[in-house]
Amino acid sequence: MAVVLGGSGGVGRAICERLAMAGSDVALTYRGNLEAAERAAEAVRAHGRRAEVYRVSASDAGEVAAFVEGVAARNGAVHTVVCAAGSDIPMRFVSEVTPASWREVMDADANGFFNLVHAALPLLRKSRGSIVAITSAGLSRFPARDILSVAPKAAIEALVRAVAKEEGRFGVRANSVALGVIEAGIFTRLNAGELGADWIAAAKRNAALRRFGTADEVANAVVFLASARASYVTGQTLMLDGGYSL
């Protein structure tokens, strides 16, 4: 069974479906949008695989542990853990970010990923499985007003490398996919409100490929890193940003 934290999002749904196409059953979580989570589950079932849906607050360590342990108890094993969850943050300059919003995002995203890793590692040791985290190309080339997205991803990247270094002796791998602008999820909301035509044009110019990425392209990368095809890859970040970070 594969576990996808944040499987109800635009990118998360594509990952769930691609895992199903690769032959895996999927347990996915959502935070508030049950309808979106059910659509993701149906996409999994359409490929003949089982899907389980759970409402989980990533910042609640007890909820995360109960979710992961419950999935393992019902299905026998967890071989893949994907973190595709992320806060729906506003774009703000550092000077505009309040301590309260900083704490909220760090707790949900950075601490949430730690909670997931803490709960999953004993199971991944048994299955010699893998972790894949979605992070940000902003860690390589910082985009203004994106601190609430990029900062927690820095902690996530550090934890990915720590797991890769320390858990490799148990056969556990950990990698990340650092995203540029992807036409799914939070981008859809921002594009409808905070982003203007000038921002869109500049962002495309800043990418070597002169376009934005798709959720399917992210899913392909995630499933590759989780699969046996990447069995000798660990502690790495795959930059899926169309050349933005060059």
pLDDT in tens, 48-78: 999 999 999 999 999 999 999 999 999 999 9
Least confident of 141-145, 213-217, 240-244: 141-145
CATH number at residue 72: 3.40.50.720
The verdict on residue 246 lying in a domain is no
Does the pLDDT of residue 28 top 70, yes or no? yes
The verdict on residue 171 lying in a domain is yes
Mean pLDDT (the chain, rounded): 94
pLDDT in tens, 94-108: 999 999 999 999 999
pTM over 0.85: yes
Residue-range definition of the domain harbouring residue 73: 2-240
The verdict on residue 196 lying in a domain is yes
> How many domains does the chain contain in total?
1
Token pair, residue 92, equals: 């703000």
pLDDT in tens, 186-228: 666 555 456 678 878 888 999 999 999 999 999 999 999 999 9
The verdict on residue 12 lying in a domain is yes
Beta-bridge partner residues of 239: 178
The verdict on residue 41 lying in a domain is yes
Task: Say what the pLDDT of residue 190 is.
Answer: 59
The verdict on residue 245 lying in a domain is no
